[in-house]
Structure 1
Amino acid sequence: MGIEAKDFSLDLDLLAYSGIVFSPEQRAALQTSLVILKEQYKFKTIHLWGKILGITEDYYIIQGNLFCSDCINWNMLTPASDEAKELSPQCQGRFTGDPSHDFDVTKYTVSNEDTEEENVEEYKSQLREEERLAATLWKIEQDAIIIPRGSYVLQPNGNVERNRTFEGLTIIESGKLSNYFHFREPISLQQKSLIHRATLDKSLHFLDTIDEDVPKGWSVQYERGSGLVQIRSLKWPGMAFFHIPETNRYGSLYCGIGEENKDLPFML
């Protein structure tokens, strides 16, 4: 998810209400890159995912698998390995801006848990910044990429496709978190009773709603009267989503340091 190339300038203007702003040079370079990369990789659609702020350089992300620091020279980003997903939350310090930088990571494991004497073993490891970047993108997508209810449908063959008849949420509906879904494999939905799931429209309610997140981690705000809805993630500061009620216009973008707000449970 992100913002599409065809609506790039308009969507960036809407995201400015959340404090996400790009310079004219960055906007021009990114818009040109989106067009070129779409043709080069034969994508049907292409999205600007966001930006990870580094100490010396920033990472611009397209479609979750292309990254660069200058908005022009793009590199493929290898999907995160299971080890990188495990080690990434334990990395100390911000992204440096150098993909080859190594982070020292200390991993602890507990053995003999069933006995009175537990042994804590310490392992030293290293994680390259490029691998940490991929793991961070994966985690943000799991926690903070959302879509409006009805924008995607589950087909009888099991495929999830964009709903071409989606006309947007009403003004009242757009202010309720229960009308937005996590755009990932459902987790909490599978834990609900069969009786509850039988009452749902399987073609529309096949994902987890964000109002059931624990802890609660979203803020909703109307802009331009009620002509624009902004939803921000409190768990991942920098993730912003927008929707224009009663239209099919929506999108999201991340612009932050790539660190989870671990103090969220104590802030509510």
Structure 2
Amino acid sequence: MQADYLHQYLDYVASNGLVLSPEQKVALQVSLEIVKKNYKFSRVYFWGKIMGLTTDYFIVQGVETDELKDKKSLYSFNCMDWKLLPPATDKMIERSMMVKGRFMGDPSHEYESITVKKTDVETIEEVSLKIKEEERLTATIELINKEAAIIPRGAFIKTPLEQVHRNRSFEGLSIIEAGKLQSYLHFTTPLILKKKSLLLQANLEESIDFLNSLDDDELKVFWSLQYEKGSKLVILRNLLWLGFTFFHMPETAQYGYIYMGLGERNIDFPFMI
């Protein structure tokens, strides 16, 4: 959620148990302005919190030019002192997903993950990998962004120069449209663009329909959508990443998402349905 409206937006998700202390809110209000200036970000977002055994990681993301490609992640333990995370690679994500259990709260902590790797038909090699928690942290943030980060349709546009920017003319979804999964798009570059949710091709606009919708998602069963406050607020929760919540105020430009959880996939989901 955008740092400029953090206090207001946190109120929208507070009923879901996603809260910060008054001291943390004040610290964020001061420090994020400094982060924006020091790193020369055009916009700063409070991404959320990953809870560790000894301490929690507070996460923010800064945007330079392109809202989709130019994001950088930083973490802090006290909401005041921030450290830049390295960009996550596919290999880093694959390695980190081998680690099971809670985050420790120590970026220098090393997990030892043992996996079995087949080198040929007859030979089996056991490989031991050491993975630092900082690597696991940045990989988990990237994975949650890929699988859960969403925006309302029309909130962002792609320019002829292939850059993604906020749509200044976006005035929000209608109350009816806000209740449909096809009105929300995955905020990650798609490997394959699916367009089956837009039944009428006349409604397809290249500048805004450059992302996949939740209705086209094979994992759309993981999404729970509810109206709150007499249809004045729409809440979407991701049941694969418990603690991820998106909100939108229909007919306004107010929307955002936040994650506050353990940083682990919900492997018990099949037993919840």
| TM-score, length of structure 2 as denominator length | 0.89
Partner residue, 1:56:
54
Q: Amino acid of the residue matched to residue 228 of structure 2?
A: E
Q: Is the 8 A contact 2:194 2:216 kept in 1?
A: no
Q: Amino acid of the residue matched to residue 9 of structure 2?
A: D
Cα distance in 1 for partners of 2:73, 2:233 equals 29
Cα distance in 1 for partners of 2:217, 2:134 equals 29
State the secondary structure of the residue aligned to 2:43. Answer: coil
1:266, distance to aligned residue in structure 2 (A): 5.1
Pair 1:168-2:134 in alignment: no
CA change 1:245–1:253 in 2 (3 A) is same
Residue in structure 2 matching 1:235, options 234, 237, 240? 240
CA change 1:26–1:199 in 2 (3 A) is closer
Q: Is the 8 A contact 1:18 1:230 kept in 2?
A: no
1:70, distance to aligned residue in structure 2 (A): 0.9
Q: Superposition pairs for residues 41-120 of structure 1, below 5 Å?
A: 41-63=39-61, 64-112=72-120, 119-120=123-124
How well do the aligned residues superpose, as a CA RMSD in angstroms? Answer: 2.0
Structure 1: which 5+ residue stretches go unaligned?
none
Cα distance in 1 for partners of 2:231, 2:187 equals 25
Cα distance in 1 for partners of 2:159, 2:107 equals 40
Q: Superposition pairs for residues 82-231 of structure 1, below 5 Å?
A: 82-112=90-120, 119-189=123-193, 200-215=204-219, 216-231=221-236
User: For this pair of structures, how many residues does the alignment match?
Assistant: 260
Residue in structure 1 matching 2:268, options 231, 242, 263? 263
1:33, distance to aligned residue in structure 2 (A): 0.9
Taking only the aligned residue pairs, the percentage that are identical comes to 47
Higher mean C-alpha displacement, 56-65 vs 138-147:
56-65
Q: Is the 8 A contact 2:187 2:211 kept in 1?
A: yes
Cα distance in 2 for partners of 1:111, 1:229 equals 50
- Deviation digits for residues 174-216 of structure 1 (CA, Å, limit 9, x no counterpart): 0111100000111342697xxx989732112111111222232
CA change 1:210–1:80 in 2 (3 A) is same
Q: Amino acid of the residue matched to residue 257 of structure 2?
A: S
Q: Amino acid of the residue matched to residue 98 of structure 1?
A: D
Q: Is the 8 A contact 1:174 1:245 kept in 2?
A: yes
State the secondary structure of the residue aligned to 1:97. Answer: coil
Partner residue, 1:4:
2
Partner residue, 2:68:
none
Q: Is the 8 A contact 2:234 2:250 kept in 1?
A: yes
State the secondary structure of the residue aligned to 2:190. Answer: coil
